[in-house]
Structure 1
Amino acid sequence: MTVPVRFPRPVARARLTIAALLAGTAFGALTAPARADEALLLPPVSVTANRTATPAAEVGSALTIITGDALERRQTRVVSDILREVPGLAVNRTGPMGGTTQVRIRGAEGNQTLVIVDGIEMNDPSAGSEYDFANLLAGDIERIEVLRGPQSALYGSDALGGVIAVTTRRGDGAPGLSAAVEGGSFGTRAGHAAAGMGTERFDARVSVQGVTTRGTSVADRRLGNTEADGHRNGTVSARFGVRPTDTTEITATGRFTRFRTDTDGFIGGAGAVDADQDTVGRQAFGRIQGRALFLDGRWEHVAGVSVSDHDRDYREAGRVTGHYEGRKTRLDYQTSLTVTTEPAEHVFTAGIEREADKAVSTSVWSFFDRSIASTGLVGQYRLGLFERLYLSGSVRHDRNDLFDDATTWRATAAYTVEGPETKLRASYGTGVKNPTLFELYGYTATYRGNPDLRPEKGTGWDVGIDQPLWGGRAVVDATYFRQRITDLITGTGASSANMPGDSRIDGVELGVSVRPLDGVTLRAAYTFTDGEDATGARLLRRPRHLASLNVGYRFAGDRADVNLGVVYNGPQTDWAFDAAYNRTVVDLSAYTLVNLAASYRLTDTVTVFGRVENLLDREYQEVWTYGTPGRAGYVGLRFSL
């Protein structure tokens, strides 16, 4: 894909991108059923699959794109909630809103998923190199990309399972202001306000969002726990861009979050129990990036620096019992050259990254202050032939201060059959996940790190097909995937160790998108995942069956909107601990969540909305002995100027 010489005006670029993405699917690397007047729009573009802007039709990896419009129609408030609808993703949260939230891709561990927001890597070095989705609010998001399968060849150690990349909105057009307020069950109050503008040379946007709730008990109330556990989150984000010339651009983005979450205690034999405990923290993220184009836009250069900082205190009865801080600093440079030799197009990409991770832990029983740095060299070649066949190959070499050098690679292919427009795709990749600083050096009253741990190594491949039907009003997709992980790190109770042998994960992802009538959209997905460790034991918190259904209906001249969402999470296993903290495997029951959302635009600037979550009032556990909220309702108003 040739990059245009000029940077488009933000207003034109944003409208084109959003319009294109609205024609894209929320499930799979395919285009969703399009309206007749959308037929000539560009296909959705991925900026994650190849680290450069690539039409989704040219991507051989399994890719999901979720638009800001989808988030708004579902009235999603926490990003992890919509990730439950993505094929291959399993979400586990300890209790109600604010509880620790893990996301696993295709059975990989939570710390094998790299999370990126506006180019900033969010994984926390002080929390096992994992990103906790508990405090990522969904307001002001333009799109989410989910890339499944090993991506270490492009993104390094944390991407053994896949990548989740979030892009927030930019300033667009004349100065504008939008705001929303809502309230509802459990004493919940929430709000969001944003102001922005954009011209040919400059754009700016500032967003403020927050939520406070009395909550429900973190420990399952069915086990006799009655204390309500509240949560507060305030987030400020900003994006600025300036284009001094037609071929240069400088952007800056920042995000700051403060939160307080009531938690409960944990006792061997009983599990989670009511306690006067909470977690108070802050998160600060920032990035500055420069971009320049040469050779009529065919040669692109991007350089940036980013910093992420996680800081939190664990408290009991108001007294700090543990303090953790994780900091990640990253310098990166990437260049990409596009060469066209009819009927072929060649794209050469190379990059270098320097990353430093630091973790500090202070508690009544421990102290450690450790850091580790690495340098990664990335190269990729993409070939497009006859606008039908697209191939890519990438390789990465990482030099680490502590571990042996590692080389990973990845190859993809995508081919569209002329006539039926069937898209065939396949990918194969290798990955590596280095032990975390806590696994190596951390300790508590009952745990000691293991400095002799070896990096986890993985391979994965998938094959898939995307088939448009009914004149483009329907698209079905199917993917088979297989992954193997060697030297999987597992907790032994007192420490951590590499498990000998291979852990295996196999599965199938199915999806369908249909637009049967004007104004009606239907999207469904199903995932079967079969995962076992090297001993043959089933992998924990990986349900074999996941399914989702979403039906949207716009009517009354697009002034009214109704959205029905159904999520099914099949039976899964978890650890249970006796009074001596010896662990055994327990089964967690399946559950089905039904959510209903509706909105009506009263005027051109005022919209009223409401939703019911867990409509059927299901009681279930995502983590052993941790509770979940029952039925809840919310109403609100949205304004725009």
Structure 2
Amino acid sequence: MSALRVALFGSLCSTPVLAQSQPIELPPIVVSATRTDVPLDQVGSSITLITREELERRQIRFVADALRTVPGLSVARIGGVGSQTLVRIRGAEANQTLVLIDGIEVNDPSFGSEFDFANLMTDDIERIEVLRGPQSVLYGSDALGGVVNIITRKGGGPLHSSVAAEGGSFGTARGSASLSGGLAEDRFRYSLSAVRLHTDGISAASERRDNSEKDGYDNGTLSANLGASLLDNLDVDVVGRFTDAEREGDGFVGGVGAVDAEEDSATIQRFGRIQARLALLDGRWQHRVGLSGADSRTDYRTDGQKVSSYDGMKTKIDYQTDLSLSTQALLPADHTVSLGLEQEREEAILTSAFSDFDRSITTRSVYSLYQVALFDDLFLTAGGRFDANDRFEDATTYRLTAAYRIEETGTKLRGSYGTAVKNPTLFDLYGYDANFRPNPNLEPETARGWDAGIDQALFGDRLSIGATYFDQRLDNFVSLAGQTVVNLPGESRIRGVELTAAVALWDGLDLTASYTFTDSQDPDGNKLVRRPRHQAGADLSYRFFEDRATVNLGVIWVGARNDIAFDAAYNQSIVRLDPYTLVNLAASVRVTGNLEAFGRIENLFDENYEEAFTYGTPGRAGYIGLRARF
């Protein structure tokens, strides 16, 4: 959104009255809204950008923490660093948030089709796009609530390298290194990254409830982004990511909640994609074909003995073609027509004392999107999708968007309407453990939703504000019922308001803020759990010392929300979690041309809070480090 705009600079064409060209600010380009490159100010969907510069200024180490101030998103981490971390968009379930890393769908079929953000760090990330609202037309089943699209750094240019190390509270030590560049005038490009993190951690079971055993966490992540221009119009890209993480955890007892115990887990994640892009007709006709794979395996241990193993695999082959053309007769317009074909196979393998199954689902899809720009001010899209699934009935979804710019007043009006479908997860259908029974009779969830918003620039673009109203309705909502899950009869409704603001107070001093109101109810009018009705965030950043030093003050406020408690027989009841406020302070200074010193304090005022009932959260923590760039 305009509150988080990226500055991309171009040049004015020279004229006889100008001695030299002057830089102008262009809107950033986004990909996720249409699966093509589109300027943000032409997008009718609600979308937020998080840039690498923002991640570095705030010293964000995990992607989930970067999402906490995005309007419409709620984040819940069940314990300390490395614990299960789920993201919900506009009140939808976590398994209705599709997560992409360089085009790879990384939602885990063995993990309820959710993506656990616990292990995803920010070191190699260039930008994050958060697309809100039903997005099944372009992305299929898992995108009922929206999409988090993560794009890593690409190589190119002269050789660049960096190393960094930091340490601090809870016995935390972290080191990272990166290397990037290009060869043969950038016909071959590479970007490599490695990071290692260790922390002694906190008790996963809340210390405020008399738990004290520390639960540590280790994470090692390697990533690569490689590209080659084989011909002037043919590019091939290969990306890969490998994560090896181990987490100590605690147990759960009905009637009590989380308790100290000798339980831990080991996770291996492998994500990869190879993609070829061919441009014809001077770039007006684009072709893209790709093969993606994601494999996430987690082994759970009690007292050092493995008790269960979850392995989720997703393989996708996809093709998309985009044809762009302009017409001048009758109505001047620019048109883009996209057509896509996909085949996706999801497989979940679960092994435990209670269950042993290997199940898969294959979906074949075709989608199309039409984009038209009229008079350089009005931008419309219309799209549809057909999914043929070998387990459920075939599904058809559609989506419409509109954006209208008023250049004279700096105003953008936007709106969207779409439908979506979410298939039951393999675990819900077939999974089984000590406290859960599957339901093979589940039916897909369906949704329809709309939003309308306005973005306004004021005072020569020094102030940008935005407001959005959204309304989404779900049928066949899958809900926990005792020790199983069922489709709730009737309609669930989620609606709310998202507000954003960004202001340049004076040179070097910038303020951004957001607020979200969410009213989420099941068919019986009960509030959905872990969805705060009110939440807000703000960041105040100051650049000084000729931009060699920065200070960033961040505030996150989360209102009261419901959660679930279980009695000794695992019957559920509703509990209320208190609101909380987190204040984070980060600062950095470039000591020399290559060396930077940085430090931060998280939870500055030592707030005592819970994001999940009976689970712990870190208190005040401090970290310092050095980074060298070459």
- What's the TM-score bracket when you normalise by the shorter of the two chains? over 0.9
The 5 Å alignment of 1:330-479 reads 330-342=316-328, 343-479=332-468
For residues 249 and 483 of structure 2, the distance between their equivalents in structure 1, rounded to whole angstroms, comes to: 24
Which residue in the other structure is 2:151 paired with? Answer: 167
CA contact (8 A) 2:2 2:455 kept: no
RMSD (Å), alpha carbons: 1.5
Report SS of the residue matched to 1:236: strand
Which residue in the other structure is 2:261 paired with? Answer: 275
Report SS of the residue matched to 1:41: strand
For residues 116 and 441 of structure 1, the distance between their equivalents in structure 2, rounded to whole angstroms, comes to: 26
2:82 to 98, 107, 126: 98
For residues 8 and 628 of structure 2, the distance between their equivalents in structure 1, rounded to whole angstroms, comes to: 30
Which residue in the other structure is 1:158 paired with? Answer: 142
Q: 1:352, CA displacement in angstroms?
A: 0.3
Give yes or no for the alignment of 1:196 onto 2:180.
Answer: yes
CA contact (8 A) 2:95 2:114 kept: yes
For residues 258 and 461 of structure 1, the distance between their equivalents in structure 2, rounded to whole angstroms, comes to: 40
Report SS of the residue matched to 2:514: strand
Residue type of the partner of 1:134? A
For residues 6 and 270 of structure 2, the distance between their equivalents in structure 1, rounded to whole angstroms, comes to: 35
Report SS of the residue matched to 1:214: strand
1:605 to 594, 597, 606: 594
For residues 101 and 124 of structure 2, the distance between their equivalents in structure 1, rounded to whole angstroms, comes to: 12
Give yes or no for the alignment of 1:77 onto 2:41.
Answer: no
Q: 1:445, CA displacement in angstroms?
A: 2.2
CA contact (8 A) 2:10 2:25 kept: no
1:111 to 79, 83, 95: 95
2:168 to 169, 184, 187: 184
Residue type of the partner of 1:201? R
Report SS of the residue matched to 1:158: helix
Give yes or no for the alignment of 1:621 onto 2:607.
Answer: no
2:113 to 129, 132, 138: 129
Which residue in the other structure is 2:299 paired with? Answer: 313
For residues 222 and 164 of structure 1, the distance between their equivalents in structure 2, rounded to whole angstroms, comes to: 33
Which residue in the other structure is 1:46 paired with? Answer: 30
Give yes or no for the alignment of 1:265 onto 2:220.
Answer: no
For residues 312 and 260 of structure 1, the distance between their equivalents in structure 2, rounded to whole angstroms, comes to: 9
Give yes or no for the alignment of 1:68 onto 2:57.
Answer: no
Residue type of the partner of 2:312? G
CA contact (8 A) 2:483 2:570 kept: no
CA separation of 1:465 and 1:42: change in aligned 2, threshold 3 A? same
Which residue in the other structure is 2:628 paired with? Answer: 639
CA contact (8 A) 1:89 1:103 kept: yes
For residues 410 and 53 of structure 2, the distance between their equivalents in structure 1, rounded to whole angstroms, comes to: 27
1:247 to 202, 225, 233: 233
Q: 1:509, CA displacement in angstroms?
A: 0.2
Give yes or no for the alignment of 1:630 onto 2:616.
Answer: no
Report SS of the residue matched to 1:69: helix
Report SS of the residue matched to 1:186: helix
Give yes or no for the alignment of 1:511 onto 2:500.
Answer: yes
Q: 1:35, CA displacement in angstroms?
A: 13
Residue type of the partner of 1:242? A
Residue type of the partner of 2:34? N
Give yes or no for the alignment of 1:573 onto 2:557.
Answer: no
Q: 1:466, CA displacement in angstroms?
A: 0.3
Number of equivalenced pairs:
616
CA contact (8 A) 1:34 1:473 kept: no
Residue type of the partner of 1:285? F
CA separation of 1:513 and 1:472: change in aligned 2, threshold 3 A? same
Residue type of the partner of 1:532? Q
Of 198-207 and 298-307, the range deviating more from structure 2 = 198-207
Gaps of 5+ in 2: 12-20
Q: 1:42, CA displacement in angstroms?
A: 2.3
Residue type of the partner of 1:329? T
For residues 191 and 287 of structure 1, the distance between their equivalents in structure 2, rounded to whole angstroms, comes to: 26
Give yes or no for the alignment of 1:537 onto 2:526.
Answer: yes
CA contact (8 A) 2:35 2:138 kept: yes
2:127 to 113, 120, 143: 143
Which residue in the other structure is 2:15 paired with? Answer: none
The 5 Å alignment of 1:581-596 reads 581-596=570-585
For residues 396 and 210 of structure 1, the distance between their equivalents in structure 2, rounded to whole angstroms, comes to: 41
CA contact (8 A) 1:597 1:612 kept: yes
1:212 to 195, 198, 220: 198
CA contact (8 A) 2:521 2:527 kept: yes
Q: Deviations over 1:398-445 (max 9, x none)?
A: 000011100000000000013102100000000000000011111112
TM-score, scaled relative to structure 1? 0.95
CA contact (8 A) 1:32 1:474 kept: no
Give yes or no for the alignment of 1:291 onto 2:277.
Answer: yes
Which residue in the other structure is 1:18 paired with? Answer: none
Report SS of the residue matched to 1:98: coil
Which residue in the other structure is 1:19 paired with? Answer: none
CA contact (8 A) 2:321 2:339 kept: yes
CA contact (8 A) 1:333 1:351 kept: yes
CA separation of 1:46 and 1:33: change in aligned 2, threshold 3 A? closer
Q: Deviations over 1:140-196 (max 9, x none)?
A: 110000000000011000000000000010113111211110000000001110011
Q: 1:38, CA displacement in angstroms?
A: 9.2
CA separation of 1:102 and 1:369: change in aligned 2, threshold 3 A? same
CA separation of 1:397 and 1:112: change in aligned 2, threshold 3 A? same
For residues 113 and 295 of structure 2, the distance between their equivalents in structure 1, rounded to whole angstroms, comes to: 12
Of 563-572 and 338-347, the range deviating more from structure 2 = 338-347
Residue type of the partner of 2:252? F
For residues 58 and 35 of structure 1, the distance between their equivalents in structure 2, rounded to whole angstroms, comes to: 18
Which residue in the other structure is 2:16 paired with? Answer: none
Which residue in the other structure is 1:230 paired with? Answer: 216
Q: 1:312, CA displacement in angstroms?
A: 0.8
Q: 1:446, CA displacement in angstroms?
A: 3.1
Report SS of the residue matched to 2:427: helix
CA contact (8 A) 1:46 1:145 kept: yes
CA contact (8 A) 1:209 1:235 kept: yes
CA contact (8 A) 1:326 1:357 kept: yes
CA contact (8 A) 1:356 1:374 kept: yes
For residues 33 and 584 of structure 2, the distance between their equivalents in structure 1, rounded to whole angstroms, comes to: 31
Which residue in the other structure is 2:14 paired with? Answer: none
For residues 179 and 315 of structure 1, the distance between their equivalents in structure 2, rounded to whole angstroms, comes to: 34
CA contact (8 A) 2:314 2:345 kept: yes
Report SS of the residue matched to 2:564: strand
Report SS of the residue matched to 1:70: helix
Higher strand share: 2
Q: 1:98, CA displacement in angstroms?
A: 0.4
Residue type of the partner of 2:173? R
Report SS of the residue matched to 2:142: helix
Q: Deviations over 1:104-152 (max 9, x none)?
A: 0000000000000011000000000000000000111100000000000
CA contact (8 A) 1:31 1:475 kept: no
